[in-house]
Each structure stands twice: as structure tokens, then as C-alpha cells.
Chains A and B, each alone.
Chain A
């Protein structure tokens, strides 16, 4: 039996009335996409390209002009479809009068959680996003990164199978941004489907296995990330501790081969972000903060650091 897609958008069209004009503005034009359970799908495109409109249609906040959106087989206009969705909007603001813990309790109750389950889930989520120490602080006093993390926690409070993230790392510093990306990776490992849109292409590339590119409301390219970005006629070999003599021999072998062209040789470079994170880890002040990071995040970061050493 074929598995039900986590997200299925069929020929979605969304038009908005334009003031002082008879014609309507078409924000999304015939977009179709399918996300299977467990995939991390990134929708990328410039401002005003229709990313948020597509997401809102999927959440039932907008009614499609034509086409339809389904979440695990349920029409997104039905309230029931939202049982499986966790959503983090761009730059979320929560009720400033509530503490972090109260915020999560409120959303847990809205999702139908009851009794001890609420406490268990709230504790789990606060630990997951490293906000145990700030649980009794009012949201009004939270930093941008903390807001984003409490937003993720509220999105995941009812254990949704689909997580929708609108610019999840927008305005967050590199450390907070890394934490959020590591959380997405750990969620993928747990089988949660993630649908995100972001302007930060490098970050999308890091966490997504499928990508869609949207321009002027139309999906212009879509597919597996590895397939889309691979340069089919080139091969990359990374060698550790190679001497000049070895490198010269390798180059000679390549030059002697038929139909083979040597393109370039040099040292691979780390990213500025990774350099920043490594330096941040070394500094004494951040060592204190590191103790508060969730274990999953430390482990994941170290692993990634090790991979590049």
C-alpha cells in the first residue's frame, strides 16, 4: 500500500484582490508539491515569491483560489488536519504576560493534552530547547533566539508528525541558529517531517534533503537536494596529510588519463559560521553557556566539528 504523503499540494493558486484595480494579484500560481513522511523539505525563493502564502494555505489560514492542500490525507481547510501540524511563524511573538512554562501549558491544553501529560511534555520541550532556567521568566523578557526556541517548543508540544517553519533562523545569532538547525536534524532522525522556508540558502542546504525553488508564485525547480546540486561531470576527492610528492603524482595520473581534465587542487575551506562557532566554544564565557545546551545539540555539533577536522 502506498504511504500517504505528509504534505500534498495540488495545483495551488492563490489570488488576492488588488485595491483600485479590477485584476487580482496572483501570489501563488499552480504550485504542486509532495512531501513524504520523514523528509525535510526546504522552500526557497526571494521576498514576495509566494513561500509564506503557500505555507498559510497549508495551515488553513488562507483559502486556495484553486487547487487544494492536504496534510496526511486531510484537507488543510479542516481543523482536524492541524492535529498533525506544528507551526512556527516568522518572527513569532507570544503572549508577553505569560512565562515560558505557562506559554507551553497554554498551547498544550489547546491541543487537547490533559493532566500529567501536560507537565511531562512541557518539561521535555523546555529541556529540548534549553530553556529550563528561563521557564519562570515572562516571555516579554526573552531574547530573539529564546523566542524562536520557545516557538519551536510550542510547535512540537503535541508531538506533531509535520513541522512547518517559516524562516526559523531569521534574526537569530549563529549559536542560536546552530541550535535550531541541530534540533531540525534531530527531529528528522526521529521521523518528523519538516517543511521550512528560508532565505539562508546555506542553512537550507545543510538540513534539507528535498528543495523547491519558487519564483513569482511558480515552483521553478524541485527535487532531491543531492540531485539538484551535484555537478554530474566532476568528482571531488578529499585527502588528509598528502605530501607534495603524492599530490604531484595524482595530478600526473589525471593528466595522463584519456578524457579527464584536471580542474583545481587546494585546501578545503571551513565556513565563517563554523569558524565563529569553534571560537565561541573555546571562549570561557561560552563554556558556561555550553553546559546549558541540550545533550543532543552538543553531541551533534561535536560530531560535525569532528567530521571537518
Chain B
């Protein structure tokens, strides 16, 4: 009777163990986020802030031949910021993911986690989600800082440039055009789309690092291979097009399919080139963002499934 009561009590407090549990994934993800935060990774934000402040003081030398020095100054500021954001987020995504699983194994904390009723899929997705949560928070903070400085700088340049135009007696329409031209290089929704594309690239790289870390025993190996895949991913499309073009009609259907298979191993990062467009103040259509979202989910899904496939039967 006592045993029965104990069992009922236990069943009250514990839910049935499911193959895939979002709440358990959330527990692992939030723990991973806390772990990375307490590793003081946010210190890099100070470096980013210094970079931003330094870039905001940059002034283009006056030129008689160009009238868009104000726009150029804003583009340089955005370029510095977006470049830093891309570098930091990809480095974070790769290094943090490559570090976490081997560290858990080395410290034997993995034993204590996997000896609980935790499916290995939950563990992997939890770790990946925790890293991505950190990347999102970092990017949001950097984006916020960029918007503040860019807005301040745009207002300053607008005041100077419009005052100069009025002093030179420009017609109202021309002054408005100048105003629109400078504003276009300020804070826009398209700029945030560029930040989203940076996040998408970091997400794919984190899932690639996750896959490699499931079979690699060395963190360094995981980081190096991930970085190589990142760089290769920026010219695979060009290389494939050149190869298909140079061989013309001699390329068989099988080889074409093989080349598409290579595109799966090395994701085509050229598709994410909207980042450059947003730096130049160009508009990005919603359909492109949708396509990139689907593509990112596709790549991340494939790498995560492969990671789970190798991890689910891994012996410790």
C-alpha cells in the first residue's frame, strides 16, 4: 500500500517521458545560455562599442568631385558595424558550439545529464538553441548600439548638409532629395534585415559545428573545419557555375546532381549577400527574407538531423 502511494505521488510530480520535450530543451538551452554568459563572453560588446565610437568619429576628406561624402561616412559606419557583427556572431556560433559538448564530456557532466531521462535529441537541440539564444541577444545589443550611433550621426550630418545646401541656395526639391538620400543611409528596416541575414549565417555555422563536434574529439579540429566550411561556402556557387559553364553540355546529369550535393555540404553563403546591399542602403524585399528563412531552416535542419544521427548511438 505504501509503495503504491509512493508511486502515485511520484507520478503526480513527474510527467511521462516523451521523445521530444520542448520544456526540457528550454531547460538545457537556458542553462547553456547562462553558462556562456557566465564565461563573460559579453565582454566583447565593449570592443564592439569602442569600434562603433571610433567609426562614428571618422570623417571623409572633403572632395570637390563627390557630393555624397555624408552618405559615404554613414556607409563606412554601417560597414564597420555589420562586418564586426558578422565576424563576432560566426565566431561565437562556431567556438561556443564546438566547445560545449567536448567540455561536458571531459567534465563528465554529460554522464549526469544523459543518465537522467533526457533523450539525446533534446540535449543536442538544447545546446544549439542556447548558443543561438546567445547570438540573438548579442546581435540585438549590437544592433541597438548601431542604431543609436547611426541615428545620432545621421541627424548630425543632416543638419550640417541641409544647412550647407540652404546657404548655397538650393531649391526645395533638391534639398528634399539630399535629405532623402542621407536618410536612406540611416536606420532603416532593411538594415535590420541585414542583421537577420547575419543571424541566419551564424545559425547555419552553429549547426555545422554541432555536427562536427558529435564525431570529433578535438575542439580545435571542429573550429578549424567549421571555419574552412564557412569560407568555402562563400565561393561554392561561383566555383560550381564556372565549372558547369566551362564544361558546357558535356556535364552529365549525375555530375550536376553531385554538384548540388556539394552545395549541401558547403552551404551557399552568397545567397546571404543582402548584407552588403543593406549596408549600401538598398531595399530588401520581404520575399527574399522569407526565402532566406526557409533556406536557413533547411540547412540547419539537415545538419541537426545528421548531428543527432551520429550522436544518438555514440558511446561514452
Contacts and interface: CB of A to CB of B under 8 A. Distances in A.
A59 B116 CA distance: 9
Interface in A240-273: none
A69 B35 CA distance: 34
A158 B118 CA distance: 13
Interface stretch (B104-112, B138-146, B157-165, B253-261): B104-112
B117 A112 contact: yes
A151 B10 CA distance: 21
B15 to A, nearest CB: 5
Interface in B11-30: 13-15, 17, 19, 23-24, 27-28
Interface in A73-89: 79-80, 82-83, 85, 87, 89
B112 to A, nearest CB: 6
Nearest to B12: A117
A63 B316 CA distance: 10
Contact of A110 (B10, B116, B315): B116
Contact of A154 (B17, B112, B313, B316): B112
Contacts of A117: 13
Interface string B111-144: 1111111110000000000000000000000000
A159 interface: yes
Given A79-B17, A92-B112, A63 B315 contact: yes
B38 interface: yes
Interface string A86-123: 01010111110110000000110111111001000000
B34 interface: yes
Given A87-B115, A97-B38, A112-B117, A106 B108 contact: no
Contacts of A299: none
Given A106-B27, A112-B117, A87 B111 contact: yes
Nearest to B34: A97
Contacts of B35: 95, 97
A164 B107 CA distance: 18
A89 B116 contact: no
Contacts of B24: 109-110, 112
A208 to B, nearest CB: 21
A287 interface: no
A111 B114 contact: no
Contact of A79 (B107, B112, B117): B117
Given A106-B27, A111-B14, A79 B109 contact: no
B117 A80 contact: yes
A98 B17 CA distance: 26
A62 B314 CA distance: 8
A158 B39 contact: no
Nearest to A84: B117
A106 B26 CA distance: 11
A56 interface: yes
A102 to B, nearest CB: 8
A60 interface: yes
A76 B149 CA distance: 57
Contact of A61 (B13, B27, B114): B114
Contact of A111 (B38, B117, B316): B117
B106 to A, nearest CB: 8
A16 to B, nearest CB: 9
B109 A111 contact: no
Nearest to A113: B13
Interface residues of A, number: 36
Contacts of B166: none
A112 B15 contact: yes
B119 A113 contact: no
B245 interface: no
Contacts of A154: 112
Interface in B73-127: 107-109, 111-119
Interface string B52-92: 00000000000000000000000000000000000000000
B14 A83 contact: yes
Given A59-B115, A79-B117, A112-B17, A93 B107 contact: yes
Contacts of A191: 3
A24 to B, nearest CB: 13
Contacts of A89: 108, 111-112
Nearest to A86: B115
Contacts of B23: 109
B291 interface: no
Contacts of B107: 93-95
Given A61-B316, A93-B108, A82 B31 contact: no
A114 B24 CA distance: 11
Interface string B171-193: 00000000000000000000000
Contacts of A82: 114-118
Interface string B277-316: 0000000000000000000000000000000000001011
Given A61-B114, A83-B117, A94 B14 contact: no
B116 A107 contact: yes
A155 to B, nearest CB: 8
A159 B10 contact: yes
28 contacts: A56-B316, A59-B114, A59-B115, A60-B114, A61-B114, A61-B115, A62-B316, A63-B315, A79-B19, A82-B114, A85-B115, A89-B108, A92-B109, A93-B109, A94-B112, A95-B107, A97-B35, A97-B39, A110-B27, A110-B116, A110-B118, A111-B14, A112-B14, A112-B117, A114-B13, A151-B112, A154-B112, A158-B116
6 residue pairs, one from A and one from B, having the closest CB atoms: A87-B115, A97-B38, A93-B107, A109-B27, A82-B117, A61-B316
Given A93-B109, A110-B27, 5 more contacts: A89-B111, A91-B108, A109-B24, A109-B27, A117-B13
